A and B are shown apart, each in its own frame.
Chain A
């Protein structure tokens, strides 16, 4: 069975600080990787996804993530966060059977 671990449960940053959220997965086969964002009271929105090719993936709102196969990692990064990035971030993995499994989420608070 596949699983996803997000080690940072809560992150507090000041505006303009750099962000990196960790995501590790366990699955022996081919996976597809996702990062979703959930703003307070809203539904999940896709930030970016990795299927194949360039392991450095660029998403919306200045976010990017790097797939490192040897480390089973897919960390999310943003060079300079804004107050509007305050949200919960979920890493997810999908296997060949298309079942999407989520990590526990990381709550990001950006102080103005």
Chain B
């Protein structure tokens, strides 16, 4: 049990469709990070939040990507419209206290 819960675990969608990835943080954690993992680029930080506020979104590849953290325990990453090159595993991680990071199980996205 990773503690950080991501859904769905797998998503297959057609190019052009909207995709929403979800992440539920561990209670009491105050920072959230979205990462994308591909064979070519490894793990890339997309965006991170502290206390629900986006701090650094410089890793978000394009305007097609957006992330929200409507409350302290939940975040979404949306891709609209999706493209085949967005296919990857998307991880979220939360942090509490001094540098204690916990990762979710990831969402494997395939855009066909």
What chain B residues lie within 8 Å of A59 (beta carbons)? none
Size category of the binding interface on chain A: 20 to 34
Whether the Cβ atoms of A43 and B95 lie closer than 8 Å is no
Binding stretch for chain B, among A15-23, A44-52, A66-74: A44-52
Q: Does A75 contact B (CB under 8 A)?
A: no
Question: Residue B71 at the A interface, CB < 8 A?
Answer: no
Interface string of A40-62 (1 = CB under 8 A from B): 00111110010100000000000
Given contacts A43-B2, A43-B104, A43-B105, contact A99 B98 (CB under 8 A): no
Query: Which residue of B55, B98, B103 contacts A44 across the interface (Cβ within 8 Å)?
Result: B103
A101 contacts B by Cβ under 8 Å: yes
Digitize A83-112: 1 where CB-to-B-CB distance is under 8 Å, 0 elsewhere.
Answer: 000000010001001111111110000000
Check if B99 sits within 8 Å of A45, measured CB to CB: no
User: Judging by beta carbons under 8 Å apart, are A46 and B101 in contact?
Assistant: yes
Q: Are A102 and B42 in contact (CB under 8 A)?
A: yes
Residues of A near B103 (CB, < 8 A) are 36, 43-45
User: Which residues of A are interface residues toward B (Cβ below 8 A)?
Assistant: 32, 34, 36, 42-46, 49, 51, 90, 94, 97-105
